[in-house]
Amino acid sequence: MEFKNFTYLILLVGSISVPLILSFDKKVQYYKNLKYIFPAIFVTALIFWVWDIRFTETQVWSFNTEYTIGLTFWGMPIEEWLFFIIVPYCCVFIYEVLKFYLEKYEYVNIFWSFSLFLIVGFALISYFFRHQDYTFLTFLFSAFYLSFTLFRNKFEPYITKFYFAYFVSLIPFMIVNGVLTSLPVVKYNPAHIMNIRIQNIPIEDFSYLFLMLLMVITLYETLKSNKYY
């Protein structure tokens, strides 16, 4: 096994190292909410794992074994399984930090309007690119889940910090995903995407991150606010 086989794993370890160390910061106290964070992450991960397995089987994307350690389950490297635990953990950490340090900043009306714009945009993209599997499903699910989140009328207290967290998460996302798609560790079938890229990252991945982060945060806040346990 060569050093480059650890590329994907190193990216994941590097991503979670700072959030993991700072989880016990006395101000944010991220660790106190782990009993709500982990169930939200695992429910979200389960959905994305099923999606990922199916898209791997149908060759919507594939993985370059030169950059993975070689341990696979259902056709996916172990690193890909960990991706859906580590990335949400890091993103929710960013969300909690922003909730604490930017508590007084609220722009509910602006982000409500922005959300409506996104719903329409996501829906139109999914329709016009309905023959590209990744494009169609990613934007369709994003439009559907964002609509559900808005109109169940319980997300207003969190909507500002959600968007803050998403925009800040784009910075490490573009670094990590930029490496994954540039080497490439993950290879996308051009028949299933729009082939519009930002720093080698398919535009669909930005919607994919949006949907994943929205799901995990809505689940997390629902568990936390209702205090089921």
* pLDDT tens string 167-196: 999 999 999 999 999 999 999 999 999 999
pLDDT value of residue 179: 95
| Extents of the domains making up the chain | 3-226
3 state SS of 141: helix
Beta pairing partners, 202? 197
* Mean pLDDT across 216-228: 89
Tens-digit pLDDT profile for residues 30-66: 989 999 999 999 999 999 999 999 999 999 999 999 9
Chain-centroid distance of CA 128 in Å reads 24
Top pLDDT among 229 and 10 is at 10
Cα 176 to Cα 47, 80, 115, 179, 206, distances in angstroms = 22, 13, 26, 5, 13
Show Cβ contacts of residue 20 under 8 Å, excluding neighbours closer than 6 positions.
89
Distance between CA atoms of residues 6 and 224, nearest Å: 36
Residue type, 6: F
For the record, the structure tokens of 43 come out as: 């429910």
Distance between CA atoms of residues 186 and 148, nearest Å: 31
Tens-digit pLDDT profile for residues 62-100: 999 999 999 999 999 999 999 999 999 999 999 999 999
Distance between CA atoms of residues 118 and 17, nearest Å: 32
